Structure 1
Amino acid sequence: MSLSGFSELFFFFIVYFIADKEISKVRSKFVEKVSKPILKQLLDDLLEDRLLNDGEVESVLEDNTNKADMARCLIDIVRKKGTRGSKMLIDHIKTRDEALHAELFPDSQDQPASPTNKTWSNRLIPVSDSERTEKMNDPDIYKVSDKSLKSRVALLITNRNFTDDNLTRKGAEKDEENMLNLLRSLQYEVVKHNDLTAKDIDKALLEFTRHPKLKETDSVFVVIMSHGKRGLILGVDHKIDKPDEFPIDTIYKYLGPNKCSKLMDKPKVIIIQYLYFLLLHLKTALRS
């Protein structure tokens, strides 16, 4: 990943973090102003996005007797989904009802719609002491102390060599090197693993949640590079007739407050890089 790509990633992360705060602030106004037809369209949008499931949509529509209660139920469900869900709801409000979006989020009207309008640097640019002090005094900026900076830690898992030689990820070592350099330049201690089975990925992730630096760190990265399918990362023993698969949802479970309270309310950046396995299998079949 290039540094420009990393900058874009962090732009989206900041947008998500702000979105979570904004959706909480406008709860009452949303309940008051949103119309029932728009509410139903938002439910359809979020169901299509797979942010909500059928049961949650039915709960909003059937367990509430009036529009206001439906709106409260929807926004509360979305808030529990985290920052990503809040951002998705805000985006859909803008698409479905621009006037409502402008009334709920007036400060966002003059901001660029996407990071593609920004010019990114291909290197990390350190801020001056005065800029850093100004940012640290801003109540809307996530605080980073010298102590937490020194406690930063990241998990990096790279699967290159598979039991099935056809799955060997040639060049993966270069991606690993680039990511390692990037994380270290951001002052993260990197816990690195290579060529893990699904069981070993699970073990490495669980061990990472017990890392002594997590208590003091301001954030963590978890980076896994391998082959994969929808919602799954492949371990190095994967074969067509003998799957070796690690569910991506397990990452969120392990890093969540129930399993890792030391990371509660701290940014957790998860990067998954994989070649879609079915496409790879098709290419292999065509070569044979």
Structure 2
Amino acid sequence: MAGKELVNVRTRFVGKAHKVVINQLLDDLLEDGVLNKGEKDSVLEDNSSTANKARSLIDMVRRKGDEASRKMIAHLQSRDPFLHSELGLSSGQPAQPEPQTEQQWSRTLIHTSEAFWKEKLNHKDIYPAAKKSMSNRVALLITNIKFTDETFNRKGAEEDERNMEKLLKALGYDVVKRTNLTGKAIDDAVNEFSKHPKLKETDSVLVVIMSHGKLGAVLGVDCKSKISDNETPDEFPINNIYKYLGPQRCPALLNKPKIIMIQACRGGEVGAVLVTDCANPAVVCDNAGEGNIEDDSFQVVNKEKDFTSFLSCTPDTVSFRHPENGSLFIQYVVGVLNTFAHKDDIGELFRKVMQRFEDFSPQTKRQMPTIDRCTLTKRFYFFPGL
């Protein structure tokens, strides 16, 4: 009986529960309808110490019966698996499994518990993440939206920029944002970023670039569908990221995770059989397509340790973007990280994004993100909210 389980662990829960976990449990139980707002406020406002808050919470839930107690146990397992295990609690799930429901994606970033961070702190297979280094995190966000040739404008990319900036800041990164750059300006921005003063103290960096693209390059805002023999294409070679952030040019990032995410096509082909009117797939593939979804046109070669890159599609194919909601890749990345970054490492987060594309709804369009030559030697956790 779940209520009896809470009775048995009451004293230890009161002594060990962290205030962050208590706040998270209150939010979860309010959302479930186990508690109302008045009861939540009562726990927080009528008790000055963390122990008293924990005592009030567990007693309030226990009095509501086994179903309420089961829900609290299940939420504790999600929020603080270390404490849940230490208390010896059950899974909190009913004896008869409930029908499987569709995954609900959080719109805000769920925070890691202090206990989970401490549990991972000294694992030799996990990249170090001290609070001081996490407070010095920095990310580069480059988004091309409006192009000299207006037919290349990326409708919906404004939403991608807003969503990604919000996510990066919630993960604790100081965001260096650049918008509407030529290929040369993208190169200069990445090179300048490699000299950022915070890199010496940070535990990791993210570089996010969103534009049109082709295999091996991201296109600048002055790109053209056709260029003459004496013209230089307006593009940024992806390999320059690894040159600028590698140990020779950027020793401050030695042995630190360098996470690259690129939303851009890598060619003109689609992942399923579909006729496209792209005249020059080596440069750009960007038409409205069916279902009010557009295509965006890329590849990276990782040569240095502690890199991982997550590309929006497989080689030679396009990636899709909704003209109002933004690209599917960015939408799925944001949803997965908001929901699971508090407990999953970067490799598992990327896998869950890829899994979402298995159920991609427009039946004649296919897209599959790619983790490109990951050279991370350990697991990397964001530990958001600490």
TM-score computed with the length of structure 2 as normaliser: 0.41
2:240 maps to 250
2:323 maps to none
**What displacement does 1:251 show?**
0.6
Of residues 181, 185, 189, the one that matches 1:200 is 185
The verdict on how the C-alpha distance between 1:141 and 1:245 changes in structure 2, with shifts beyond 3 A counting, is same
2:210 maps to 225
1:137 maps to 122
What is the one-letter code of the residue matched to 1:270? I
In the alignment, the residues of structure 2 paired with residue 186 and residue 207 of structure 1 have an alpha-carbon distance, to the nearest angstrom, of 22
Aligned positions of 1:1-288 closer than 5 A: 122=106, 123-239=108-224, 240-241=226-227, 242=231, 243-276=233-266, 278=268, 281-282=278-279
The verdict on how the C-alpha distance between 1:171 and 1:245 changes in structure 2, with shifts beyond 3 A counting, is same
The verdict on how the C-alpha distance between 1:238 and 1:277 changes in structure 2, with shifts beyond 3 A counting, is farther
Deviation per CA, 1:206-241: give whole Å up to 9, x if none: 100110000000000000000000011000001121
Deviation per CA, 1:92-149: give whole Å up to 9, x if none: xxxxxxxxxxxxxxxxxxxxxxxxxxx7853533232222211113222221111111
Runs of at least 5 residues in structure 2 that lack an aligned partner in the other structure: 1-102, 270-276, 280-284, 290-386
In the alignment, the residues of structure 1 paired with residue 190 and residue 170 of structure 2 have an alpha-carbon distance, to the nearest angstrom, of 23
8 Å CA contact 2:127–2:256 kept in 1: the answer is no
8 Å CA contact 1:224–1:273 kept in 2: the answer is yes
What is the one-letter code of the residue matched to 1:150? S
In the alignment, the residues of structure 2 paired with residue 231 and residue 209 of structure 1 have an alpha-carbon distance, to the nearest angstrom, of 20
8 Å CA contact 1:197–1:234 kept in 2: the answer is yes
**Structure 1 runs of 4+ with >4 Å offset:** 276-280, 283-287
The verdict on how the C-alpha distance between 1:229 and 1:128 changes in structure 2, with shifts beyond 3 A counting, is same
Q: How many positions carry a matched residue from both structures?
A: 169
The verdict on how the C-alpha distance between 1:129 and 1:235 changes in structure 2, with shifts beyond 3 A counting, is same
Deviation per CA, 1:136-173: give whole Å up to 9, x if none: 13222221111111110000000011111110001100
Deviation per CA, 1:24-62: give whole Å up to 9, x if none: xxxxxxxxxxxxxxxxxxxxxxxxxxxxxxxxxxxxxxx
In the alignment, the residues of structure 2 paired with residue 142 and residue 284 of structure 1 have an alpha-carbon distance, to the nearest angstrom, of 39
8 Å CA contact 1:197–1:235 kept in 2: the answer is yes
**What displacement does 1:276 show?**
4.8
In the alignment, the residues of structure 1 paired with residue 236 and residue 116 of structure 2 have an alpha-carbon distance, to the nearest angstrom, of 43
TM-score computed with the length of structure 1 as normaliser: 0.55
8 Å CA contact 1:227–1:277 kept in 2: the answer is no
Bigger helix fraction: 1
8 Å CA contact 2:216–2:266 kept in 1: the answer is no
**What displacement does 1:266 show?**
0.3
